[in-house]
Structure 1
Amino acid sequence: MTIDRRSFMAASVCVGVAGPALAQTAVPAVPGSPLPPGLPQPAETIDLWPGGAPGMPAKPLTETVNERSTDRLVTDRAVYGINAPRLAVFRPDRPNGAGVLITPGGGYRWVVVDKEGYEMGRWLAARGFTAFVLFYRLPGEGWAAGPNVALADAQRAMRLIRARAGDFAVDPERVSAMGFSAGGHLCADLATRFDASVYAPVDAADQLSAKPHSAAPIYPVISMTAPDAHSGSRELLIGKTASSALEAAHSPHLNVPANAPPVFLLHAEDDEVVPVNNALLLRAALKAEGVRVETHLFEHGGHGFGLRRAIGKPVEAWPELWRAWARTTGLAL
């Protein structure tokens, strides 16, 4: 993938200098709830939309964070009502020049903060990657962009990371994407519809490509058609009565371009929430277009294992499998 140098420099001047000087929205938090000691928390955020997110719902949203864990030392937060989509940044002590945009899951009902966001951000940063956890807008909350609203945030996030690459010691051509469950759908959507026009450009950053260097949809929602569709994600993304055309438009395996980036796929065959065939459908479609794809299927693992629920099982090897594969793509040198 080649990024036009003139466009990159123009965007860096516009966004990279002005961006850090502006007040940014804090990370989602539970008021009065202490965080576990010793765990790195994101120290900085990047708001995606300088003038506010476009297409606000008629009914104002209130960002709400639910703590679902009863263990004080293991947080499991989920956030909804996101009206200021933003990136939470995890900087490594010794950057390896690669960035990873993380899109946590949550069934498009909410965005999971810890299990599929911050925990992966910490893991990546400890290994030299600069991680950007995306708190994206939810399609069922009345945004004008409808089912394209999360993709608009993911495209904008990828462009902003590139525009500010110098601020993070990141090579703008080595910015990958990784997503989980419904966030895996968003990751796959970005990898297949990076060129789709889903929002009006707002500044010079939007001159840059939204195509990720590579993509890793982890136990992803892919199909919007029964019996493979995850019914909750489908309903919130496109509605209960969506036409077959709308289903197809938002099923990444039906929208794979020949120039899609390399893809790493991971799924457990005993996934009781999102059928493993979702990953297989995307794999077949990528293969049909001649796109590089590595696929790992595990007999056991269930759904939503992330890092914490993979411990002690064969599937706990998956992050290092991704890292080894990432080296073959040139992401991790």
Structure 2
Amino acid sequence: MNSDRRSLLGAGLAASLLGATRLSAQTPPPSAPEGPPPGLPQPIETIDLWPGGAPGMPAQPPVEQVEERSADPLVADRAVRGITVPRLSVFRPDRPNGGAVLLIPGGGYRHVVVDKEGYEMARWLSARGFTAFVLFYRLPYDGWAAGPDVCLSDAQRAMRIIRQRHRDFALDPERVAAMGFSAGGHLCADLATRFAQRTYDPVDEADRLGARPVCAAPVYPVMAMQAPHAHPGSRERLLGPSPSAALEAAHSPHRNVPRDAPPFFILHAEDDDVVPVENSLLLRAALKAQGVAVETHLFRHGGHGFGLRKATGKPVAAWPELWRDWARGTGLG
């Protein structure tokens, strides 16, 4: 990893001195007008990524809105759009094991899923000792100056903030992983292949730290930005209606794999009728070509967007433990 331990320790000390002040001033987690669903723990701790506000604000900023898509009052399925304050929702374990996971929910770059690919996985991880950080990232079609790099800017900044504040969360700054789902899987893979690319101007000491995750797990990921395998909605919202071949290549993670990319865990269902399984196969082939360690799990059934809740009762339900066993060998623990 290309982060310097001395810088990490100094940044962590500064963060611990400012911790109480920063916690009190953070933007609350996204919430629907009717409030959070009953019965399950909700995050009470958030971290705003950009202390002076997110860079490159559109001339007409979007308005954050949360939609509850579930008809069952006991099963939440919220989606948030119009994010102007990108932030992390934090799930602390009772007994931290020193590892952390940056969770990147999907939503086709149209919105960011809150529960199914965010909070549910965060609860699963925190119950097993990992500190989980759910990323609510800006959406590229909202007109941010960074354009299609705006999501990667938030993901890079999130990794650096987690490392900077490792003392606040009893973390080893070298043991921060990334996991993403669908379009969030694309962003996860983008982070794990373009971690060293400068996508924003540094704003503070955190930006001296590395953004490379110790390992990456894109789950049923969007990958290709070219036909025939591209997910049309994600492609258009990320790149616009008529992107150039160069722009497509720049935002197809399998075409940008460096030799120092972290180990990958790839998961997909072969009957996925939204994001073709070929997206994962393209990524696997590119990683193998560069000599990057990769473990791939393809399940016959599962469809798209199974996360945890839709995997129940199917063979694909084994995937979280498969990931956990694999992660032990990457240094995450």
Counterpart of 1:314 in structure 2: which amino acid?
Answer: P
Offset of 1:328 from its aligned partner?
1.2
Does the 8 Å contact 2:15/2:168 carry over to 1? Answer: no
What's 1:158 paired with? 159
CA distance in 2, matches of 1:98, 1:20: 22
**Structure 2 Cα separation of the partners of residues 111 and 304 of structure 1:** 13
Compute the displacement of 1:280 (Å).
0.3
* Alignment correspondent of 1:5: 5
8 Å contact kept, 1:97–1:174: yes
- Once the two structures are TM-superposed, the CA of residue 18 in structure 1 deviates from its matched residue by 2.4
The alignment partner of 1:274 has SS state of coil
Other-structure match for 1:74? 75
Shift of 1:34: 4.6
Alignment partner of 1:26 is 2:28: yes
In 1, Cα distance between the equivalents of 2:220 and 2:52? Answer: 35
**Mapped contact 1:15–1:205 kept (Cα < 8 A):** no
Report what 2:42 is aligned to. Answer: 41
Per-residue displacement from partner, 1:54-105 (whole Å, max 9, x unpaired)? 0001112210000000111100000000000000000001111000000000
Q: Which aligned pairs between 1:201-216 and structure 2 lie closer than 5 A? A: 201-216=202-217
Where does residue 252 of structure 1 map in the other structure?
253
Matches within 5 A, 1:163-242: 163-242=164-243
Q: 1:82 is matched by which residue type in structure 2? A: I
Partner residue, 2:17: 17
1:176 offset after TM fit, Å? 0.1
Unaligned 5+ runs, structure 1:
none
CA distance in 1, matches of 2:202, 2:270: 41
Task: Give the CA deviation at 1:108.
Answer: 0.2
Distance in 1, Cα, partners of 2:11 & 2:314: 45
2:64 and 2:36 map into 1 onto residues whose CA distance is 19
Q: Percent identity?
A: 72
Q: Could you tell me how far apart the structure 2 residues matched to 1:195 and 1:270 are?
A: 34
Instruction: Show CA shifts across 1:118-175 (max 9, x none).
Output: 0000000000000000000000110000000000000000000000001101100000
Deviation at 1:201, TM superposition (A): 0.4
TM-score (norm 2): 0.98
2:296 is paired with a residue of what secondary structure? Answer: strand
TM-score normalised by length of structure 1: 0.98
**What corresponds to 1:55 in structure 2?**
56
Q: Structure 1 34/119 Cα, relative in aligned 2: closer, same or farther at 3 Å?
A: closer
| Comparing 181-190 and 15-24, the one that deviates more | 15-24
* 1:204 counterpart letter in structure 2: E
1:19: how far off?
4.6
Query: Unaligned stretches of 5+ in structure 2?
Result: none
Tell me, yes or no, if the aligned pair for 1:10 and 1:204 is still in contact at 8 Å.
no
Deviation track 1:259-310 (CA, whole Å, cap 9, x = no partner) reads 0000000000000000000000000000000000000000010000000000
Deviations 1:172-218 (A, max 9, x none): 00000000000000000000000010000000010000000000000
Q: Deviation above 6 Å: which 4+ runs of structure 1?
A: none
- Taking the aligned partners of 1:34 and 1:294, their CA distance within structure 2 comes to 36
- Equivalent pair of 1:12/1:205 in contact (CA under 8 Å): no
Aligned-partner Cα distance in 1 for 2:20–2:85: 16
Q: Shift of residue 36 of structure 1?
A: 1.8
Aligned partners of 2:266 and 2:295 also within 8 Å: yes
Say if 2:103 and 2:179, in contact at 8 Å, map to a contact too. yes
SS at match of 1:134: strand
Conserved? CA contact 1:92–1:126, under 8 Å: yes
Q: How far apart are the structure 2 equivalents of 1:326 and 1:176? A: 9
Deviation string for 1:210-229 (max 9, x for gaps)?
A: 00000000000000000000
Q: Tell me if structure 2 keeps the 8 A contact 1:266–1:279.
A: yes
Q: How many aligned positions are there?
A: 331
Q: Deviations over 1:6-57 (max 9, x none)?
A: 21133224434325413000000012335222x1111200000000000001
Q: Which residue of 1 aligns with 2:113?
A: 112
State the AA in 1 paired with 2:98: G
Contact 1:159 1:209 in 2 (8 A): yes
In the alignment, which residue of structure 2 is the partner of 1:149?
A: 150
Counterparts of 1:287 and 1:25, CA distance in 2 = 41
Distance of aligned partners of 1:72 and 1:98 in 2 relative to their CA distance in 1, 3 Å threshold: same
